């Protein structure tokens, strides 16, 4: 079962492909995407990586949480589901 990870404090220059390549060190990456601001078209500095197995996700979290990439220490944690914001 795939496991989705939140990756924060990313360098703004990092691409989806570079993020995917980085996380392959921990195992098979099913998908990787950096969140882009819809107005400026620039990275928001965070993204998500889907690892193929729970074991790979745990390994990725161990390897990359706190690891420095281009001068920025990554924050890696399990992604949480989006909440339903209806203003109620």
Number of domains in the chain: 1
pLDDT of residue 88: 47
Give the span between the Cα atoms of 33 and 31, in whole angstroms.
Answer: 7
pLDDT of 24-80, one tens digit each? 999 999 999 999 999 999 999 999 999 999 999 999 999 999 999 999 999 999 998
The CATH number of whichever domain residue 65 belongs to comes to 3.30.70.330
- For residue 73, what pLDDT is reported? 98
Confidence of residue 86 (pLDDT cuts 50, 70, 90): low
Alpha helices in the chain (DSSP H): 16-23, 54-64
- The boundaries of the domain holding residue 58 are 3-78
* pLDDT band, residue 82 (cuts 50/70/90): confident
**85 within some domain:** no
Q: What does the block give as tokens for 60? A: 């990725």
pTM: 0.89
């Amino acid at each position: 079962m795939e496991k989705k990870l939140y990756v924060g404090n990313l360098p703004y220059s990092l691409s989806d492909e570079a993020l995917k390549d980085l996380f392959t060190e921990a195992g098979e990456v099913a998908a990787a995407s950096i969140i882009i601001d819809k107005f400026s078209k620039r990275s928001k500095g965070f993204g998500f990586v889907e690892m193929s197995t729970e074991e790979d996700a745990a390994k990725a979290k161990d390897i990359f949480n706190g690891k420095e990439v281009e001068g920025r220490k990554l924050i890696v944690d399990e992604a949480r589901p989006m909440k339903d914001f209806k203003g109620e």
